[in-house]
Amino acid sequence: MVSVTTWNINSVRLRMPIVADFLKQEAPDILCLQEIKCEEHLFPYDAFRALGYEHFAVHGQKGYHGVGTVSRIPIQEYSRHDWQANGEARHVGVELAEGPGKGTVIENVYVPAGGDIPDREQNPKFGQKLDFLERMTRWADGIERPTLIVGDFNIAPLESDVWSHKQLLKVVSHTPLEVETLQRFMDAHGWSDIGREHIKAPERYYSWWSYRSKDWRKGDRGRRLDHMWASPELARQATAHRVLEDARSWEKPSDHVPLTTEFAL
């Protein structure tokens, strides 16, 4: 069995105390973090080692973005794409280096948020987000090995992925254009949406609640921005999937919560 967690941590240095709590409690084999917000040499390697996580693939930059994959089973860095070709650290890929599942690829990605206005002309960041997804789509077309891609996709595709489909139709993260673009990425490889295989629509499923409200539970205005997608054959080996909503209430929380999937490898 191999378990994998994805978590947009919104500063790994600031959040290391709750990351440690999470690892002690949930003990996934592999933890994929997004928005680590630090350069690679400032990543808290020692704190992870002290918890038994001794394998790393970190793609960081100063201040913004950045992803890091941390593991207690051997992994090997496999790829590091810059799909925007602008130097931003938004992806790192690893493969399982030993044991059952050896060669399985785990891609950790942080898709651009896309700014406020869902219009390429008025808001270049929205265009960048779509372009990023389209380049990922072309890349996915050539995937030949069993692959798990996880991370903050910054898109909530289904109606039951948001607290109000109607009120979010023109809000970046849930616009039809983004949803279609994400669908093309899905089709390019035939990804299986593990989250929705285990928590079927139309059941409510969120992974993010804004900081901009006193009580995140009040109104439950969440969105499912974080995802775990697998190649079809790998998806069939997923035996369990959990969303740790409680983490949104922890001390100094991230605005995202961790998602975990177990695989019978």
Partner DNA sequence: GACTGTGACG
Partner DNA sequence: CGTCACAGTC
- Establish if 103 lies at the interface with DNA (CB under 7 A): no
Q: Which residue has the tokens 């804004």?
A: 210
- Establish if 13 lies at the interface with DNA (CB under 7 A): yes
Query: What is the Cα 216 distance to its own chain's centre?
Result: 20
Interface of this chain with DNA, residues 123 to 152, rule: CB under 7 A: 125
- Establish if 118 lies at the interface with DNA (CB under 7 A): no
Interface of this chain with DNA, residues 189 to 218, rule: CB under 7 A: 211-214
Both tokens of residue 165? 């489909």
Give the binding-site size for DNA (rule: CB under 7 A).
Answer: 21
Q: Nearest approach, Cβ of 8 to DNA (angstroms)?
A: 8
Q: Nearest approach, Cβ of 176 to DNA (angstroms)?
A: 20
- Establish if 261 lies at the interface with DNA (CB under 7 A): no
Q: Nearest approach, Cβ of 178 to DNA (angstroms)?
A: 13
Interface of this chain with DNA, residues 56 to 95, rule: CB under 7 A: 62-65
Residue 226 designated active-site = no
Which of 7, 57, 3, 2 lies closest to 259 in space, CA to CA? Answer: 7
Our CB check for DNA shows the closer of 15 and 196 to be 15
Q: What angle do CA 158, 162, 164 make, to 5 degrees?
A: 110
Residue 152 designated active-site = yes
Our CB check for DNA shows the closer of 18 and 235 to be 18
Q: Where are the beta strands (DSSP E) in the chain?
A: 2-8, 30-34, 55-59, 67-71, 75-79, 91-96, 105-110, 147-152, 192-193, 208-209, 222-223, 226-230, 238-243, 259-263
- In the chain, what is the greatest distance between 2 CA atoms, to the nearest angstrom? 50
Q: Which of 112, 118, 157, 258 binds DNA (CB under 7 A)?
A: 112
Q: Quick count: other Cβ atoms within 10 Å of Cβ 40?
A: 15
Residue 227 designated active-site = no
Our CB check for DNA shows the closer of 203 and 218 to be 218
Q: Is 71 helix (H, G, I), strand (E, B) or coil?
A: strand
Which of 174, 86, 182 lies closest to 133 in space, CA to CA? Answer: 182
Our CB check for DNA shows the closer of 195 and 253 to be 253
Q: What is the 3-state secondary structure (H, E, C) of 19-65?
A: HHHHHHHHCCCEEEEECCCCCHHHCCHHHHHHCCCCEEEEECCCCCC
Q: Which of 113, 158, 179, 265 binds DNA (CB under 7 A)?
A: 113
Our CB check for DNA shows the closer of 52 and 63 to be 63
What are phi and psi for residue 134, nearest 5 degrees? -70, -35
> Is 8 annotated in some ligand binding site?
yes
Interface of this chain with DNA, residues 38 to 57, rule: CB under 7 A: 38
Annotated binding-site residue numbers: 8, 35, 152, 154, 255-256
**Residues assigned a catalytic role:** 110, 152, 256
Note the residues at the interface with DNA (CB under 7 A).
10-11, 13-14, 37-38, 62-65, 112-113, 115, 125, 154, 211-214, 252, 255
Residue ranges of the annotated binding site for Mg(2+) are 8, 35, 152, 154, 255-256
